């Protein structure tokens, strides 16, 4: 039986789904039965991590290499910390750049100082 295709291109064709949707279902949903070949997909950590994020684009995932998930803040607290410190570093760099060329009273511009300055002026 067929249903009229109402799914906007390019997200589906004739009501069918993209790769991410297929992988999500056949790997992450569906009934788990222990077969003779004992592979519990949940034991393959890398795979389950991939599953959670997967994918929409396998090519993209490949481009990003096998450790791409380590940099995803949603998954890794380490990555979250990294993101924060990156943001801080970015702010500091930006401030330093903006303040460059002006008489600098403070030896090390920090984010907190930047905020305080904003409030006091």
The footprint of another protein (CB under 8 A) covers: 1, 3-4, 6-8, 11-12, 15-42, 44, 46-47, 52-58, 60-62, 64, 68, 72, 74, 94-95, 98-99, 109, 114-115, 117-118, 121
Provide the minimum distance between the beta carbon of 65 and another protein in the complex, in angstroms, as a whole number: 12
Residue number, 4 or 107, with CB nearest to another protein: 4
**Judged by CB, which is closer to another protein: 46, or 81?**
46
Q: In terms of C-beta density within 10 A (0-12 exposed, 13-18 middle, 19 or more buried), how is residue 49 classed?
A: middle
Q: How far is the CB of 12 from another protein (least distance, A)?
A: 5
Q: What span, in angstroms and rounded, lies between the C-alpha atoms of 84 and 47?
A: 27
- Output b/e per residue, 8-26; b: 16+ Cβ within 10 A: eeeeeeeeeebeeeebbee
């Amino acid at each position: 039986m067929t249903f009229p295709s109402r799914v906007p291109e390019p997200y589906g064709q004739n009501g069918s789904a993209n790769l991410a949707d297929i992988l999500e279902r056949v790997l992450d949903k569906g009934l788990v039965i222990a077969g003779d070949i004992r592979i519990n997909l949940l034991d393959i950590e890398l795979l389950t991590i991939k599953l959670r994020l997967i994918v929409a684009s396998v090519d993209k995932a490949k481009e990003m290499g096998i450790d791409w998930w380590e940099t995803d803040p949603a998954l890794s607290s380490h990555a979250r910390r990294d993101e924060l410190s990156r943001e801080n570093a970015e702010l500091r760099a930006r401030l330093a750049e903006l303040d460059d060329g002006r008489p600098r009273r403070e030896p090390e511009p920090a984010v907190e100082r930047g905020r305080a300055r904003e409030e006091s002026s």
